[in-house]
């Protein structure tokens, strides 16, 4: 049977695939046309194209696929092309709502108008801050004001003059004293002194006092009229000043309105702005007076920056000048928290109080992407509190509502705003992984309604002459974009070999260009150290090996424990019920194979197969499934007309971590068959593969890592020429073994067998024929299957015998 095992040896040429540099058709990548166009992603690109073109609001896009397949680059490139042919979206600004200041108004403006409007309003405020004070200082204004003062002064003086003339006619004098006006008697044109007045006859005194009392009443009337006249004067001055200011403001605002003719919303806003400026013209005077105290500050030329005039300013949320940008925006938000997504309202601390106004409203990514595309990393979005909920709300309502997290959670009570919502028409593109997409579809009923298109990127592509040429052109484009040295044909072939190995299939190569790009940049570094003008195959090989070396510390430590005998793995001799299985350990992005010793023990029992890994909760569900399948295989293949009377145990020796997967089920079955047949297994062989209930050996993953892991153990313990591995036949196309393993196989020092059935595998492992049932239903004597069935039949007979002795049929364990 050992000689017959050669029939299952895999031909050497099928153990690896290497790209022949001569077939590439160029000397270096300088000789070919560079192209960074993605290939092999037609299905995903069609989905992205559809999402970029369709106008319905709920056809947003979720992009997923393996990391390193240039998902983000493809999305950005295609969206940029589509956006270039789209119209430039309108601008949006917030302006003060003078009636309700806590609810600012949002204005839609033609593209490029927002910045012009802000500049015009700033210039308007600056001009009025100079013109209004200048108006009140002008000679014309001062002359007109003096005329009003003189008019009202004359009216007061006329009344007093008339009273004085009347008093004079009655021999009464109207005198002005420091205490005001007073009336006194006169005689012969002279004011009577008090003593002289008392010397007058009594009847004459009474007449004079009567005349003075009457005139005093009239004087009081004149004096009482003075405040009324002063008020009327002030009103006249105020009205005159308002007329003069109003005319100036209207003329200046009218000039501004003409610059935005045809924009109805702005015409109305300018009208409101004008009336408010006229009503608060005194503010410009106060500001000018304050500025005069600081003659070197230049405040008048920068009046729009002063908080006094914030109410008139324009808060530009989005502005896209037509001459500076063509098409719609493509915005990528790398930190999609609530504030950066939907915008925020900032606050200022004044006198220990947080205050705000509409000028402190800041735009979010949705504002900047309005009318275009917004690209977000899905995992980052979902990790930010309330961001996902806010995004869904905006997409459902098609408006952007600015609400802070503190307001949503009612954590703060402070001055806040309720800005008018801005309509939004944005195509949102989420980039994530397949698991995240599945979770959203399953757990969020809104997701399917809002994200109706999915674009899944492929992990690999078929290896053909056409795709090989596309790969070379992509590598050439990468070197130019990253400013690297060109590659010769051998280096490109080495990268393609690595891409094929990453795909784990000699008929395909990986589309995870990101990993290859890292190798390429490291190879460029090594080429620079050698002062080479180009990157060759040796640089690529060194980059690959150095990358593996940096990540292989754990692998090397595990390998050392086996070489020193701490972990026992036999690669020579024979043993009953013991076989070498192959496992894979993954650490970050590095994966390596590790052999493990699997042992089985069997005895008479009640038909129970004990999986020790599962019993101690170290075995995962897939591993347990594999054990149950092989148990059923035993029960249905051998002694089928007798009760299954086996008690067996399986264990991964010296395994202290979790084990999952069914790739060891074939090895476990072989250990059981060896134990039952009492036939030893060659320990220089290792096995990988899952087993079906019909006895077929099925494909497994990471076959190259597993073969290489056992090969390294054999090298450490010494290659004897009898060592090798058994793999499923369906995994032959996945073999891409290292150069050293390929050389060892060529030299006959190591072997790789491909098996399809359990019978083939047990025959190779034991060196005995497995045996096939004859027409009489029995196996040939001396074969493995004969020995296994005989043992199980003996167990069954003994069990029946013991049961009859005990008067019971089945408490045997």
Q: For the residues 385-404, what does the mean pLDDT come to?
A: 92
Distance (Å, whole) CA 290 – CA 284: 10
Q: What is the pLDDT of residues 201-220, one digit of tens each?
A: 777 767 776 777 776 776 67
Handedness of CA 89, 94, 100, 103 (dihedral sign): positive
Q: What is the pLDDT of residues 308-327, one digit of tens each?
A: 888 999 999 998 875 556 78
Q: What is the DSSP string of 634-679?
A: HHHHSSTTS---EEEEEEETT--S-B--STTHHHHHHHHHHHHHT-
Q: What is the DSSP string of 716-755?
A: HH---SS-EEEEEGGGGGG----HHHHHHHHTTSSEEEEE
Handedness of CA 227, 229, 232, 238 (dihedral sign): negative
446 to 50, 197, 431, 452: CA distances (angstroms): 21, 106, 17, 10
Q: For the residues 497-520, what does the mean pLDDT come to?
A: 90
Give the CA dihedral 685, 687, 691, 697, nearest 10 degrees: -80
Backbone angles phi, psi at 535, to 5 degrees: -95, 130
Element of type H or E holding 23: none
Distance (Å, whole) CA 750 – CA 684: 10
Structure token pair of residue 32: 């070919």
Structure token pair of residue 45: 């690109």
Query: Residue 431 in contact with residue 377, Cβ under 8 Å?
Result: yes
Distance (Å, whole) CA 61 – CA 772: 57
Distance (Å, whole) CA 422 – CA 405: 19
Query: Residue 373 in contact with residue 331, Cβ under 8 Å?
Result: yes
Distance (Å, whole) CA 630 – CA 579: 15
Q: What is the pLDDT of residues 512-559, one digit of tens each?
A: 888 899 999 999 999 999 999 999 999 999 999 999 999 999 999 999
Pairing of strands 590-604, 646-652: antiparallel
Better pLDDT: 616 or 600: 600
Mean pLDDT of all residues in the chain? Answer: 85
Better pLDDT: 179 or 43: 43
Q: For the residues 715-736, what does the mean pLDDT come to?
A: 93
Pick from 367, 278, 352, 351: nearest CA to 316: 367
Query: Residue 8 in contact with residue 761, Cβ under 8 Å?
Result: no
Q: What is the DSSP string of 391-414?
A: HHHHHHHTEE----HHHHHT---S
605: confidence class by pLDDT, cuts 50, 70, 90: confident
239 to 12, 519, 526: CA distances (angstroms): 106, 81, 85
Handedness of CA 443, 446, 452, 453 (dihedral sign): negative
Q: Taking the CB of residue 42, how many other CB atoms lie within 10 A of it?
A: 10
Q: For the residues 739-757, what does the mean pLDDT come to?
A: 93
Q: Taking the CB of residue 221, how many other CB atoms lie within 10 A of it?
A: 11
CB-side exposure of 60: number of CA atoms within 13 Å?
A: 28
DSSP state of 28: B
> Which 3-state string (H, E, C) describes 280-331?
CHHHHHHHHHHHHCCCCCCHHHHHHHCHHHHHHCEEEEECCCCCCCCCCCEE
Q: What is the pLDDT of residues 432-488, one digit of tens each?
A: 999 999 999 999 999 999 999 999 998 889 999 999 999 999 999 999 999 999 999
The gap between the terminal CA atoms of the chain, to the nearest Å, is: 37
Backbone angles phi, psi at 421, to 5 degrees: -60, 145
Query: Residue 682 in contact with residue 765, Cβ under 8 Å?
Result: yes
235: confidence class by pLDDT, cuts 50, 70, 90: confident
35 to 19, 125, 463, 469, 477: CA distances (angstroms): 21, 55, 18, 10, 5
Q: Which residues are catalytic?
A: 663, 706
> Which 3-state string (H, E, C) describes 105-174?
EEEEECCCHHHHHHHHHHHHHHHHHHHHHHHHHCHHHHHHHHHHHHHHHHHHHHHHHHHHHHHHHCCEEE
Q: Which residue shows structure tokens 């050389």?
A: 743
CA 684 to chain CA mean position, Å: 51
Question: Residues near 351 by Cβ (< 8 Å), separated by ≥ 6?
Answer: none
Query: Residue 544 in contact with residue 497, Cβ under 8 Å?
Result: no
Q: Which of 109-118, 238-247, 786-795 has the lowest mean pLDDT?
A: 238-247
Q: What is the pLDDT of residues 129-175, one digit of tens each?
A: 888 888 877 787 778 777 777 666 666 667 666 667 666 666 676 66
Distance (Å, whole) CA 264 – CA 589: 60
Distance (Å, whole) CA 141 – CA 144: 5
Triad 717, 721, 725: Cα angle to 5°: 80
Q: What is the pLDDT of residue 409?
A: 67
809: confidence class by pLDDT, cuts 50, 70, 90: very low
Q: What is the pLDDT of residues 19-54, one digit of tens each?
A: 999 989 899 999 999 887 788 888 999 999 999 999
631: confidence class by pLDDT, cuts 50, 70, 90: confident
68 to 234, 294, 368: CA distances (angstroms): 79, 61, 28
Q: Taking the CB of residue 291, how many other CB atoms lie within 10 A of it?
A: 20
Backbone angles phi, psi at 153, to 5 degrees: -65, -40
668 to 181, 771, 789: CA distances (angstroms): 128, 20, 18
Strand partners, 438: none
């Amino acid at each position: 049977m050992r000689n017959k095992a050669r029939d299952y040896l895999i031909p050497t040429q099928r153990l690896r695939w290497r790209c022949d540099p001569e077939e590439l058709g160029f000397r270096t990548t300088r000789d070919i046309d560079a192209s960074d166009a993605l290939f092999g992603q037609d299905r995903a690109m069609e989905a992205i194209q559809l999402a970029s073109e369709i106008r319905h609001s709920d056809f947003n896009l979720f992009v997923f696929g393996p990391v390193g397949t240039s998902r983000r680059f493809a999305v950005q490139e295609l969206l940029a092309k589509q956006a270039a042919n789209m119209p430039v979206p309108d601008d949006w600004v917030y302006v003060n709502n003078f009636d309700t200041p806590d609810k600012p108004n949002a204005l839609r403006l033609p593209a490029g108008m927002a910045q012009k409007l802000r500049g015009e309003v700033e210039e308007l405020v600056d001009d009025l801050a100079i013109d209004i004070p200048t108006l009140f200082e002008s000679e014309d204004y001062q002359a007109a004001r003096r005329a009003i003062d003189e008019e009202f002064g004359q009216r007061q003086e006329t009344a007093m003059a008339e009273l004085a003339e009347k008093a004079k006619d009655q021999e009464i004098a109207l005198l002005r004293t420091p205490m005001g006006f007073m009336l006194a008697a006169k005689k012969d044109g002279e004011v009577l002194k008090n003593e002289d007045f008392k010397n007058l006859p009594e009847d004459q005194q009474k007449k004079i006092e009567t005349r003075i009392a009457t005139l005093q009443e009239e004087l009081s009337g004149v004096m009482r009229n003075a405040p009324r006249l002063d008020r009327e004067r002030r009103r006249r001055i105020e009205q005159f000043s308002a007329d003069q200011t109003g005319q100036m403001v209207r003329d200046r605002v009218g000039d501004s309105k003409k610059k935005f003719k045809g924009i109805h919303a702005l015409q109305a806003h300018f009208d409101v702005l004008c009336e408010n400026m006229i009503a608060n013209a005194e503010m410009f005077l106060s500001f000018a007076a304050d500025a005069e105290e600081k003659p070197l500050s230049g405040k008048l030329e920068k009046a729009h920056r002063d908080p006094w005039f914030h109410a008139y300013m324009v808060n530009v949320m989005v502005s896209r000048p037509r001459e500076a940008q063509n098409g719609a925006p493509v915005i990528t938000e790398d930190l999609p928290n609530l504030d950066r997504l939907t915008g925020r309202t900032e606050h200022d601390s004044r006198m220990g109080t947080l205050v705000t106004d509409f000028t402190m409203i800041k735009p979010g990514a949705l504002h900047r992407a309005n009318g275009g595309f917004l690209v977000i990393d899905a995992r980052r979005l979902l990790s930010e509190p309330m961001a996902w909920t806010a995004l869904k709300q905006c997409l459902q309502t098609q408006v952007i509502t600015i609400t802070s997290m503190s307001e949503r959670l009612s954590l703060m009570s402070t001055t806040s705003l309720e800005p008018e919502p801005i309509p939004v028409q944005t195509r949102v593109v989420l980039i994530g992984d397949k698991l995240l997409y599945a979770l959203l579809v399953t757990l969020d009923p809104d997701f399917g309604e809002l994200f109706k298109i999915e674009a899944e990127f492929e992990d690999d592509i078929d290896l053909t002459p056409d795709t090989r040429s596309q790969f070379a052109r992509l590598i050439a484009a990468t070197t130019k974009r990253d400013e690297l040295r060109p590659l010769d044909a051998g280096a490109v072939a080495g990268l393609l070999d690595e891409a094929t190995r990453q795909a784990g299939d000699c008929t395909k190569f990986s589309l995870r260009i990101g990993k290859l790009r890292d190798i390429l940049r490291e190879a460029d570094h090594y080429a620079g150290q050698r002062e080479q003008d180009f990157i060759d195959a040796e640089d690529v090989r060194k980059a690959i090996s150095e990358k593996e070396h940096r990540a292989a510390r754990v692998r090397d430590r595990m390998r050392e424990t086996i070489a020193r005998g701490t972990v026992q793995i036999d690669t020579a001799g024979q043993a009953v019920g013991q076989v070498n299985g192959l496992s894979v350990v993954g650490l970050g992005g590095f994966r390596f194979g590790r052999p493990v010793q699997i042992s089985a023990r069997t005895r008479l029992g009640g038909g129970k197969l004990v999986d020790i890994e599962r019993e101690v909760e170290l075995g995962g569900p897939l591993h347990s499934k594999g054990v149950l399948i092989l148990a059923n295989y035993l029960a249905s293949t051998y002694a089928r007309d007798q009760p299954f009377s086996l008690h067996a145990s399986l264990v991964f020796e010296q395994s202290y971590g979790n084990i999952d997967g069914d790739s060891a089920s074939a090895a476990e079955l072989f250990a059981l068959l060896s134990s039952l047949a009492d036939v030893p297994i060659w320990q220089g062989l290792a096995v990988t593969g899952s087993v079906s209930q019909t006895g077929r050996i099925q494909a497994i993953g990471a076959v190259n890592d597993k073969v290489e892991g056992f090969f390294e153990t054999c090298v450490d313990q010494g290659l004897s020429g009898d060592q090798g591995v058994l793999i499923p036949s369906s995994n032959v196309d996945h073999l891409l073994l290292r150069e050293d393993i390929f050389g060892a196989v060529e030299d006959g020092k190591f072997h790789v067998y491909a098996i399809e059935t359990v019978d083939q595998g047990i025959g190779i492992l034991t060196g005995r024929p497995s045996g096939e049932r004859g027409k009489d239903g029995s196996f040939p004597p001396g074969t493995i299957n004969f020995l296994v069935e005989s043992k199980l039949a003996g167990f069954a007979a003994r069990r029946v015998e013991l049961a009859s002795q005990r008067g019971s049929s089945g408490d045997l364990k």
